[in-house]
Amino acid sequence: MKLTVARSVPSIAALALFAHCSRTPPVVSAPPVPETISFEATTVKRTDTAAPSDTTAPSDTTAPVASSTTDAEAGAATDAAAAAPAASAAPAAESGASAAVRALLDAQHGALARCYDEILSTAPEAAGRVSVEFAVSSANVVSRLDVRVEGDGGLAQARSCIETAMRAVRFTGMRYPGAVVRRSYSFVNPPIELALSQPIEVRPPARNAPAAAAATSAEAARGVLTDAEVRNQLAVALPAMQACYATTLRRARSAAGAGDMRITLRPNGEVEGAAWTASVEPIALMGDCLGAAIRAQRFRNSGTGANIRANMTFAR
């Protein structure tokens, strides 16, 4: 008997499957990851105070190239110069591209400070932190802008103005769109330091002396308090301070001496504190009475607080 072995012939489907499996898979490139540059908190103050400064260098020195001018600067050179950062070299670890981004964002400080000025005119206690994050579009403009406000006293009212200022930024020379920029801003309204140039002399009250005219400078106005207007406001308190001295003279007829009155003002012009310091008694014991006379005053609502030092001399 003869045995016949038949060969198995691969089917067309099997051949197709073998060819598919043996084919080299194509290489799929991952989409580029957007660049990110982050800066730490920068201080923004009123336009009539010192310029802002960065606390640290950016955390990522790989950054897109940006131009150093903005549309928002046009027509506002004076205010921008008052609020722009002082000229300084970029941190040693910062690349040229990152320095360009820093310079571009620094150019917006004038606009941000003007936003703060607007809020302080109606909400003098406004202060806090604002975090800004945005992407750069293919047209080299700000897109996907996110402004988060963490502050008190009405700082949230500045959001719309801040968004407008940030959208004015223009970038050029981007390697690809989608780069993300992050920066946070600390909005602070520091008090001014003011020491009156001349001592205030307080003498016993004269008989039938006319009452001091009430001060009319408590209305809101731009600009920090001046030596002259503080002195004029303290003149309104002079009769009350003279009464304090008269009470002391009834206990000690030869009482005389000098001391310092430290006055702390809130941004709206209210007196927050008044502390009296003198080296001789009983002049040194007049603090409660003098403090009450000062706290009854209301200074101009300048939109900024003040720490005032006034030297006073009590003599007959």
Averages of pLDDT over runs of 10 residues in the chain (316 residues) are 54 61 56 67 78 44 38 39 46 62 84 90 87 86 90 90 92 69 91 91 79 51 81 95 95 94 93 96 95 95 89 94
Per DSSP, the three-state class of 131 is strand
Q: Which amino acid is at 198?
A: Q
pLDDT at 301: 86
| Pairing assessment for the beta strands 36-44 and 180-187 based on DSSP bridges | parallel
pLDDT at 73: 39
pLDDT at 52: 43
Euclidean distance between CA atoms 257 and 279, whole angstroms: 8
The residue extents of the domains of the chain are 36-187, 192-314
Q: Give the global pTM.
A: 0.62
Residue 239, C-beta contacts closer than 8 angstroms, at least 6 positions apart: 205, 209, 211, 212
pLDDT at 121: 79
pLDDT at 284: 95
pLDDT at 15: 58
Selection from 202, 206, 223, 180 nearest residue 315 by Cα: 202
Euclidean distance between CA atoms 145 and 163, whole angstroms: 8
Q: Is the peptide bond before 25 cis (omega within 30 degrees of 0)?
A: no
Helix axes of 159-167 and 109-120: crossing angle, nearest 10 degrees: 160
